[in-house]
Structure formats: C-alpha cells, structure tokens
Amino acid sequence: MARQHFDPMGSTAVITGASSGLGVAFAHEFARRGADLVLVARRQERLEALAVDLAERYGAESTVIPMDLTRQGAVDELVGDIERRGIRVGSLVNNAGFASYGRFGEIDGDRMHQEVELNVAALTMLSRGLWGALTAHCRTSPGNGALVNVASTVAFQPVPFMGVYAASKAYVLSLTEALWYEAKGTGLKVTALCPGPTATEFTEVAGNGELFFKNPQTAEQVIDTAFRALDARSTPPSIVSGAGNAAGASLVGLVPKRSLLTALGRATTPGRRR
C-alpha cells in the first residue's frame, strides 16, 4: 500500500455543505484518518445525525454549526465562532455550492444572486478568513492540513443554460490554482477537486433532472480521487475525478469554441427531448 502523505490526525477539518453528498463523504474520510470536524450547512438535524455517526464509527469529535453562508456577514460569524471556540483548524473543504438550470433571463434573480454568493464569495472569503490559521498550522505540521475547493468539470468550458454555475466553478478553479502556488513553503496542501456527474442531490437542487447524470460516479469515488491527490508527495493544483472526465477536460481546448458551445447548447437546451 502506498504511503499516505496526508495525515490530518489530531487536527480539525472545516467542511461546508456537510449535510449531504460530497460533504458527508469528506467528513467520513477525514474522521477515518483521525481528524475532528467542524460541520457547516443549513440543515442542523442532518449535521447532528452525521456528528453522531462520526463519533460512533471513528471516535471523532464534531462541532455542528448550522449556517446559511449566503447570508450577509455569515462567513465572518463562522470564522469568529471557530476562533472563539479555540479550534485549531488544519484543513478546510469548501464544498458548499449549487447550480441553477434554465434560460438565463428566466432564472429567479434572487436565486442567481445566492448562487454567486455561495459558490464564489463565501468560498473566497472563508478561504481568506482561515488562510492564516491553515498556513500557521501547516508550518509546524507539514502534510497535516489542506485547502480543498470543490470545482467541477464544467469549470473547463462555458455551459449554456447553466452559465452562472459553470462560470462560478471556472473562478474556483482559477483561484485555487493560484493559491496552490502561494502556499508553497507553508506545508499546506491546496487543490481544486473537479468532479463530473456524481450521484448526489445536485441535479434535484439545480432543477435539471437527469441532464448530467449519465453513468455518474459515487461520492466515495470522487473523495477517493481527492485523497489520492492529497496523499501524493506533491499535490497537484487541481484534479479531475474519473478517467473519462479527465480525458474530456483535456480535449476542451482542442475544439473550436463555436463548435463546443453549439454541441453543449443542443445537449442542454431546456425541454429538449433526449
């Protein structure tokens, strides 16, 4: 078995969007590796049930913080709460996010605003708010902490009818790769995780049914990809989950943009029979 170069034992991982899907899977793997958790999401009952499960399975201690990160001032409150509790943060997983599917002019404006606030603003400011704690922790415990920002394979190209979501994930990918370089010498592992179709609640929330759910990966498969990247001696700036998804992402730049958009637009047009 290959050596695990990422060992968060004895530290605490903050995970947003921890009430379902990839957030739950991230929590289980961090707890299995000996980390305690700060679980953040809107649904308190789900977080509390997860905390009990992690304690029973792994002996992990979890701090549950129910919070809507799209609310103004929420990120500052979260960072302040963590600091007041004296929690030593070693890792941050920015997993919270959602998509909106439909014609740009018909998507509810408030929902679109919340999408940008959560996918872009909250991720950025939480990374900024905990950056000092993460890098300080990892200078004394290199390889013990990580910043993982969940992007998507849609980060590699525009996607008609999910334009805001794809653009937000392109931002996440670009920001995270820049932070990967800035973290050099601190011992902090930084990477953008880019999953493709995954069997979670994602499409139900987005309102696009089974549009992108052809042969989806499981959440556990995606998390395995993430931790293989973290276990690498040199963690890459970004990682695509799934061989097929990785191949597709690498080919995007070879296809003329007009042809790419035409193909994607035809595939994603609302109401189109498939």
Per-residue model confidence as pLDDT tens digits over 220-258: 999 999 999 999 999 999 999 988 888 988 888 888 899
Contact present, 31 and 58 (Cβ < 8 Å): yes
Distance of alpha carbon 34 from alpha carbon 8, whole angstroms: 6
> What's the CA gap between 12 and 31, in Å, rounded?
9
Cα separation of 54 and 210, whole Å?
31
Nearest alpha-carbon partner for 128 in 65, 86, 179, 70: 179
What pLDDT is recorded for position 83?
Answer: 97
Please tell me the distance from the alpha carbon of residue 154 to that of residue 197, in angstroms, as a whole number.
Answer: 10
- Whole-angstrom CA distances from 190 to 21, 138, 262 are 21, 11, 34
pLDDT in tens, 34-56: 999 999 999 999 999 999 999 99
Neighbours of 268 (CB within 10 A): 17
Catalytically active residues are 165
What pLDDT is recorded for position 112? Answer: 96
State the Cα–Cα distance between residues 123 and 175, nearest whole angstrom. 10
At 213, is the pLDDT very low, low, confident or very high (cuts 50, 70, 90)? low
pLDDT tens digit string along 158-201? 999 999 999 999 999 999 999 999 999 999 999 999 999 887 66
Residue 210's pLDDT is 46
Residue 202's alpha-carbon distances to 19, 97, 99, 134, 189, in angstroms, are 13, 9, 8, 29, 27
CA-CA distance, 144 to 134, in Å (whole number)? 10
- C-alpha 213: how far from its chain's center? 18
Nearest to 150 by CA among 62, 229, 71, 74: 229
What is the separation, in whole angstroms, between the first and last Cα of the chain? 44
pLDDT tens, position by position, 113-167 = 999 999 999 999 999 999 999 999 999 888 899 999 999 999 999 999 999 999 9
Structure-model confidence comparison of residues 65 and 246, the more confident one: 65
Q: Are 227 and 29 in contact (CB under 8 A)?
A: yes
What is the 3 state secondary structure string of 3-60? Answer: CCCCCCCCCEEEEECCCCHHHHHHHHHHHHCCCEEEEEECCHHHHHHHHHHHHHHHCC
Beta-bridged to residue 146, according to DSSP, are 189
Q: 12-268: which CATH architecture?
A: 3-Layer(aba) Sandwich (3.40)
What tens digit of pLDDT does each residue of 84-109 get?
999 999 999 999 999 999 999 999 99
List the domain boundaries for the chain. Answer: 12-268
